[in-house]
Amino acid sequence: MPPRRIYTLVIIAAVIYCGVMVAPYLRSTLVRDAAVTTWADRAVAPIAGQIVSDLPAVGEIVGDDGLIATIENTLLLAEQQSIEMLHQKVVLARIRAEEAESRLEELSTMDTKRLADRDEFAAIFETVLEADISSLRAEREVVDDRVAVLNRITQRHEELNARGLDPQEGLDEAMLRLATAKARRAQIETELKAAVLRRNAAKRGIFISGDGSTPDWLRYGEFELTMETQRVSHELHQALSELAEEEQSLATAEKTLEHLSHGTVKAPPGSLIVSVLTSPEATVQAGTPIVEWVDCRVLLVDVPLPDAEAPLIDTGDPAHVILEGENRTRDATVLLVRGSAATLGRTDLAALAKGRLPGVAQAVLTLDAELDDFPRCPVGRAAYVRFPDVGLIDIIRARLRL
C-alpha cells in the first residue's frame, strides 16, 4: 500500500477518534443537557394522625406563616387517662400542703398565745417581787425601831443590875429579846438583797423563783410546741416538694399530649410546592411525606460530564451558563464535583439534567442569579454550561489520557 494512502487512513482514523472523544462536549453544546435545579426538600408529618386541613396545590407559594397542613390525633386515650390521674395526684398533694400550712398557722397562734401568757406572768412576777421588796423594807424599819427600843431596855437592866436593884434574870431576858430582834434584822436584810437581785434579773428577762429554780410558767409548752412545729414544717416541705414534682409531671404530660395530638407541617415562607404526596383527610404516620418543596432562591445547575473530564474541574472554578430560551451568559461557580458512581439523584435535587445517564459524572454549580431575574421559578430549565478554564485540547488530552 502506498505511503500516502497509509497516512490518509491514519489521519481519518485520528479524526474519527477525536470526533468520538469530543462528541459528548459537542452534544452538550447543541442539546443543552444541563438543568437548573435546587435542593429537594420534603415536609413530613410530625405525628401520627389525620390531616384536617386543606393541602396546598402544586406550584403554590408557601405563605408567611409557613403552614402547609394541620394534623390531629384524637385517639390518645391512654395519655388522657394518665393526665387525669396526674390531676388527682396534684389535687391530693395540694391538699396535704394546705393542711400542713394550716397546722403551722395554728401552732404559730398557740406560740403567740404562750408568749403573751408568759409576758403576763412575768409582769405579775415583777409586781409580786416589788411588793415583797416593799414589805421587807417596811418590816426592816419596824425591826430597826424594835432593836433601838430593846437596846435602851437592855441598857436600863444593866444599870439596875449593877446597883443590885434588878435580878440577873431580867437582864438576861432583855438581852435575849435584843439578840432575837437583831437576828430578824439580819434575816430581813438577806431576804431584801435576794429580792432586789431577782427583780433586777427579771428586768433583764431572767426569772428566778425564791428557791433559785426557773418558774414553770416560763417554759410551759415551749418544748412541745417547738418539736411539733419542726415536725409539721418537715411535713410541709415534703408536701411542697411532692406538689412541685406532680405539677411538673402534669405539665410534661400535657405538653406531650398536645405535641402528640396536634401537629403542623411547615416549610420556609416563600417556598414553592412542587409535589403533593398525600391527600386531605388522609391518615398518616409520623415521618410520612406530605409535600415536596423547593426554595427557588437557591439556584443550582446540574451538569453531566464524562468521568474523564471530572478531574479537570475543581470546586470554586468559574463556569458560564446559558439557559434554554436565553442568549445571555450567566456566571456560576462549581459547588461540588462527583464521579459517576456517586452522583446526586432525585432525592437530593429537585430536577436532573437531560444528560443524566448511567456512567456519567456530575458537577453541581451555584448560579449567580436572583429569583427576581426570572418571570417564574427556573428550576427544571435546560441549560448549556461551559467551563472557561477547560479547553477542547484539555478534554481531548484527558480522554486520550495524555
In tens, the pLDDT along 352-369 reads 998 777 888 999 999 998
State whether 231 and 302 are in the same domain: no
State whether 126 and 221 are in the same domain: yes
Does the global pTM surpass 0.85? no
How many other C-beta atoms lie within 10 A of the C-beta of residue 358? 6
How many other C-beta atoms lie within 10 A of the C-beta of residue 243? 20
Number of domains making up the chain: 2
What are the strands of the beta sheet with 41-44, ordered from one edge?
Answer: 41-44, 289-294, 272-276
Q: Letter for the amino acid at 395?
A: I
State whether 54 and 190 are in the same domain: no
What are the strands of the beta sheet with 49-51, ordered from one edge?
Answer: 262-266, 67-72, 49-51, 283-284
Confidence grade of residue 321 (pLDDT, cut at 50, 70, 90): very high
CB 35 within 8 A of CB 353: yes
Residue 13 lies in a domain: no
Q: What is the pLDDT of residues 108-167, one digit of tens each?
A: 888 888 778 778 888 888 888 888 889 888 888 998 888 888 888 888 888 877 777 778
State whether 96 and 225 are in the same domain: yes
- 251: CB partners within 8 A, 6+ apart: none
Residue 3 lies in a domain: no
State whether 93 and 57 are in the same domain: no
Residue 12 lies in a domain: no
Domain final position from 219, 235, 251: 235
pLDDT of residue 29: 41
Residue 216 belongs to domain spanning: 80-235
CB 308 within 8 A of CB 339: no
